[in-house]
Amino acid sequence: MAQTSRTDETELIAGLRRGETRAFEMVVRQYGPRLLASGRRILRDQSLAEDCVQETFIKAFERLDGFEGRAKFGTWLHSIMVNQALMKLRKLRPDKHETIDDLMPQFDADSCRIEAPWSHLATPHEMLEEEQTRRLVQSHIEQLPETYCIVLQLRDIQEFNTETVSEMLNISQGAVKVRLHRARSALKTLLEPLLRGETMS
């Protein structure tokens, strides 16, 4: 989050609540860059990310009374941005997987894992050096249902911790972990031909 002490943050929010134009401008300049970077990562498009950031600040300014100070102000702003971005993603990518149940690990009746032997496990370099395979990896990530894709984006790509992601998505830390695990498991299944080196030349 932006480098702001709690005291600075409190003063800034008090300024917003008093309707001071200067405070609004400071908030946009201070928190905007990080929101824009994160939005660009999620939406993969500069102009959509800018729209998203604009909507985020407008919503945040309208809902200032809803900020209770439990999370950091930057995290609260981020949670609004993530929700705005999710709405955009739903419109942009209607052809996502609807469910990931079929992509979960398999077990037999004796609770033993069913996993074909791995004779080769591709390195990240092998999987990402070619533009074509990199795009394929990205498209598999982006085709996951939004609730899973967003957790992967925030945890494994943007590297926020579980506590922050739970505040951003307004779900428990346990729910973040469950979604993260399911998302990773599903993605592992989708990437399996690449991971096994089967589709690379």
Partner 1 sequence: MTMLATRLKRKLKGAMLKWLPGMLTCVQFEDFLIEYMEGDLPQRQRTVFEFHIRICRECREYMAAYKRTIEVTGRAYGNGAAPVPDEVPEDLVQAILAARRG
Residue 177 lies near partner 1 (rule: CB under 8 A): yes
Counting contacts by CB under 8 A, is residue 193 touching partner 1? Answer: no
- Token readout for 103 is 């992509």
Which span sits near partner 1 by CB under 8 A: 5-13, 77-85, 89-97, 175-183?
175-183
x-or-dash string of contact with partner 1, 13-52, rule CB under 8 A? --------x--xx--xx--xxx-xxx-xx--------x--
In the complex, least distance from residue 192 CB atom to partner 1, rounded to whole angstroms? 7
Task: State the residues that interact with partner 1 by CB under 8 A.
Answer: 21, 24-25, 28-29, 32-34, 36-38, 40-41, 50, 53-54, 57-58, 61, 105, 107-108, 110-115, 117-118, 121-124, 127-128, 134, 137-138, 141, 152, 156-159, 162, 177-178, 180-181, 184-185, 187-188, 191-192, 195
